[in-house]
Amino acid sequence: MSVKIRLRRVGSRKKPFYRVVVADVRSPRDGKFIETIGHYNPRNQNDLVLDLQKVEEWEKKGARPTNTVGCLIKRLKKQQAEEKKVTEKKGTEKKVTEKKVTEKKATEKKATEKKATEKKAIEKKATEKKATEKKATEKKATEKKEVKKEKIKKKPTEKKKTKKNVKDKKETKPEKEE
């Protein structure tokens, strides 16, 4: 039994559409088939879908593609090779751009880390300055308290001023000579 990989017309009148099938040589074009392995729309040249693994399997089993299907298989393999090259180029471009992006991120990260360390240093200096100022003000306050205590110790105790004491002082004041 001889097997062919050929086109089977499915589209309506004046709108062709084909399925790529594996069929016996004796069966008619649109008749009985073994397996569908893709489709093709001649009105849209880019609309070609084939399962190349199944095509290879059937070729190993002895199936022969027709001239048209052979051309379609070549076209599809060529398209896939071109797409592969384009994706490889994009991949290398992506790698280059990814390297640039990672380098840029690394430099940005270093810059932010540097800014953060500078900010921490400034904050540390500010807190140290505040601490020294606080110690200085506390020291001045304690010195003032000590000075007040010393003044209080040096002063003799005075009597409280009452009306009697005030009168007595007036009387005891020597009169001025004229």
**By the 8 A CB rule, do 59 and 38 touch?**
no
Burial class (CB in 10 A: 0-12, 13-18, 19+), 3: middle
Q: What is the C-alpha separation between 145 and 140, in angstroms, rounded?
A: 9
Q: What is the C-alpha separation between 52 and 57, in angstroms, rounded?
A: 9
What predicted TM-score, i.e. pTM, was given to this entire model? 0.48
**How confident is the prediction along the chain (178 residues), in pLDDT tens digits per residue?**
689 999 999 889 999 999 999 998 888 887 888 889 999 888 887 788 888 899 999 989 898 999 999 999 998 888 888 888 888 777 676 677 777 788 888 888 888 888 888 888 888 888 888 888 888 888 888 887 777 777 777 665 555 556 566 555 555 655 555 4
- Give residue 21's pLDDT: 93
Tell me the C-alpha to C-alpha distance, in Å, between residue 75 and each of 50, 69, 70.
11, 10, 9
- Assigned fold of 3-73: S16 Ribosomal Protein; Chain: A; (3.30.1320)
- Give residue 33's pLDDT: 85
- Give residue 178's pLDDT: 46
